[in-house]
Amino acid sequence: MSIFDFYNKKHRWKWLLFFTFVAIVSGSVWYTNTIVSKIAREEKKNITLWADAIHRKAELVNYTEKFFIRIQEEERKRVEILALATKRFVEAESNEELTFYSTLIQNNTTIPVIQTNKKREIIGTRNVDFDADTVPVLQGKLLQEFSVYDPVKVDFLGDVNYLYYKESKLYSELRKYLDELVMDFFSETVINSASVPVIITDSLMQHIIAHGNIPLNESNDSAYMQKLLNDMRTQRNPIELELEQSKNYILYKDSLILTQLQFFPVIQLTIIALFILISYLIFSTSRRSEQNQVWAGMAKETAHQLGTPLSSIMAWSELLRIKGETEVATELDKDILRLETIAQRFSKIGSEPTLQEENIIATIYEAIDYLRERTPSRVTYHINIPENQHIIVPLNKPLFEWVIENLCK
């Protein structure tokens, strides 16, 4: 009895299973999305922390750059003061003045200075790393080294002298440290632990100086590069950076992990939907195939069961023919033939049909003749092919006649 109750309540069970499935899927999606949201928040937090750190480092680099510019200006002023002290030292009239200007000149212990005449013949040196006696003229590589900054012109005893100078050793070491600091800053920016895609550009945001976590190569055309820069500029505010008296910009965007996490719920729902659809199609096809097998079995059983009454009717037909009821027996034989055809049709349901060489024209005429006798007189049939024409084709005659009947009906 419980089995019958199960089948009677089949529709209710389907809805119960459906809602249970929906609840499980919804719970799974909700839990997964909760975890994904937490990961996304942490990823955004890491990006924000990274951006703040880059801002602070950029401010530090900018401040250091300005500090070095001030040092450079101060060294220039010191050289100018040194030139003035050298001029006044010769013109000094009192011992106090001589002592004062001499002290100014002697206090220069860091800036390398070379004093020359108009012909660049070396008159005096200070804080240089070569022997002045072996180098009488400022020329060649040495001249190039001391010509980074314009020399200071000095009127000395009615003649014009020049003070050539270069960066002090202390300043050079600091400049080297600054360059290393800038390179480390670039490296830490483009190669970051947060996996943030980064591009460092020029002041016009057109030329890429460095990049990290972005697959760029020479094959990328300018249109692609410009689109990428515009997208990054739109997604996040660029970080401004001033290095070596030029302006640069740091462009960045969300990391690949964060971008993938944003699409994860959609991908998950799509996969679940595809799984449900495929499962439904498989079970639906399986159920339909099972039903077809049941119907095929019932059809074969029906054809088998028709065999016994057909044999009995054939016997009655022979008995009527013996008693002289020839006309009745003939009509009965037609019905017997029809029932045999129907039995053959039912027996072939669900099995591969057997094809034989048959005259398709004669088969069509036989099927139409049978229908013509059993349809109202107002229904007429027209066959546009002569009956005496022969077209031999492989076909299954009972099934083909069935098709003709169904088409006419």
- Give the pLDDT score at 90: 59
pTM to 2 decimals? Answer: 0.44
- Give the pLDDT score at 4: 47
- Give the pLDDT score at 102: 63
Write down the domain spans for the chain.
188-254, 352-409
How far, in Å, CA of 80 to CA of 71, rounded?
A: 14
Tell me how many helices (H) and strands (E) the chain has: 10, 10
Best CA proximity match to 127, nearest among 148, 109, 152: 109
How far, in Å, CA of 53 to CA of 258, rounded?
A: 19
- Give the pLDDT score at 394: 92
For the chain (409 residues), the mean pLDDT of every run of 10, in chain order, is 53 76 80 77 71 73 77 75 67 60 67 84 83 83 84 74 79 75 70 71 82 71 81 82 72 75 76 82 81 78 77 84 82 80 75 84 87 82 87 87 84
* Cα 277 to chain centroid, rounded: 26
- Give the pLDDT score at 176: 77
The dihedral of CA 54, 56, 59, 61: what is its sign? negative
